[in-house]
Amino acid sequence: MAKRRRTTQEDFSFVSPVVKYLLFIFNFIFWVIAVVMVSIGIYARAMKHAEAALSYLSVDPAILLMVAGVLMFLITFCGCVGSLRENICLLQTFCVCLTIVFLLQLAAGILGFIFSDKARGKVTEHINKAIVHYRDDLDLQNLIDFGQKEFSCCGGIIYTEWSQNVYFNCTEENPSRERCSVPYSCCLQSKDQSVINTMCGHGIQQLDYQKAGAFIHTSGCIDTLVNWIHSNLFLLGGVALGLAIPQLVGMLLSQILINQIRDQIELQDYNHLHRSDPWN
């Protein structure tokens, strides 16, 4: 009786260490970033006074930063441990979560483009709330001043919207010394000016549009921002691509590693089956 040929198979399949440790390093970097984000969010929240709860915003930026950091921490933790332990379950969790985040970002961008008018209205609403609470929170005040100086604008639609603020209100009943004024960040500043004139916006709301233009930026920040976006579409596209590439790389590496681990498991099962029947 002829002896059957014994099947020769390797006892293991190849799992690329390059893919494995590249995925680990990729996740570890973003894991560290997530820890930093959570730390900054906690610090920012702890430093705020209870009465300055940022009621003018839908979500406190500090809380938003902490939530985003925690989510990134959990996702990248699955990626780190899954790649080191070659755990398919954790790698699949990482890949699925990353895919969901990517699709949500894509959907938000598409919806923002389609419903640009509604998005503009929502932004206008938040800016008006921010104007009302300009003096209530130092972080908000610094943020508004930074935006108005960087974009050379004043107010949401027009500079007279600063009359919504109780300190800058232009009614005769307003006892504030800043009555009919605008913040100094609205003013035209010369680059060689060594001392900032914080009273340069005093009484500006009482002037007509042309006269006010000699002292401040009269364009609203919303229109200025929209024009800036239209002028920097390639830059914004590059930023969006820069955010998308790491996510796509993470999904690709995790899927490659998952397939390699599955192939290894299948080969091990195959070898185990044929070792139990050496004449097969």
Per residue in 77-94, pLDDT tens? 999 999 988 899 999 999
Question: pLDDT, tens digit, for every residue of 23-45?
Answer: 999 999 999 999 999 998 888 77
> According to the model, what pLDDT value does residue 3 have?
42
Q: Which two tokens stand for residue 185?
A: 């960040």
Residue, of 258 and 117, whose pLDDT is higher: 258
For the residues 125-147, what does the mean pLDDT come to?
87
> According to the model, what pLDDT value does residue 58 have?
54
pLDDT at residue 51 above 50?
no
Q: Three-state DSSP class for 200?
A: coil
Residue for token pair 């935006």: 147
- pTM of this structure: 0.71
Instruction: Name, in order, each residue with C-beta under 8 angstroms of 214's C-beta and a sequence gap of 6 or more.
Output: 188
Q: Which helix (H) or strand (E) holds 95?
A: helix 88-114
Q: Which of 87-96, 158-167, 222-231 is predicted with the least confidence, judged by mean pLDDT?
A: 222-231
- Given CA atoms 144, 147, 149, 154 in this order, what sign does their dihedral have? negative
Q: Using 50, 70 and 90 to split pLDDT, how confident is the model at 187?
A: very high
Q: What is the distance between the alpha carbons of residues 244 and 176, in angstroms, rounded to a whole number?
A: 49
Residue 187's CB is within 10 A of a number of other CB atoms, namely: 22
CA 204 to chain centre: 36
Q: Using 50, 70 and 90 to split pLDDT, how confident is the model at 126?
A: confident
> According to the model, what pLDDT value does residue 180 have?
92
Q: Which of 30-39, 101-110, 119-128 has the highest mean pLDDT?
A: 30-39
Provide the β-strand partners of residue 187: 216
For the residues 236-257, what does the mean pLDDT come to?
88
Q: Which two tokens stand for residue 265?
A: 């498991």
Cα(first)–Cα(last) distance of the chain, in Å?
14
- Given CA atoms 191, 235, 113, 94 in this order, what sign does their dihedral have? negative
Q: What is the distance between the alpha carbons of residues 223 and 208, in angstroms, rounded to a whole number?
A: 20
Q: Using 50, 70 and 90 to split pLDDT, how confident is the model at 238?
A: confident
* Mean pLDDT of all residues belonging to the chain: 83
Q: What is the distance between the alpha carbons of residues 158 and 211, in angstroms, rounded to a whole number?
A: 14
Provide the β-strand partners of residue 216: 187
> According to the model, what pLDDT value does residue 36 have?
93
Question: pLDDT, tens digit, for every residue of 188-215?
Answer: 887 766 677 778 888 899 888 888 988 9
Instruction: Name, in order, each residue with C-beta under 8 angstroms of 112's C-beta and a sequence gap of 6 or more.
Output: 119
pLDDT at residue 59 above 70?
no
**What is the widest separation between alpha-carbon atoms in the chain?**
115
> According to the model, what pLDDT value does residue 95 have?
93
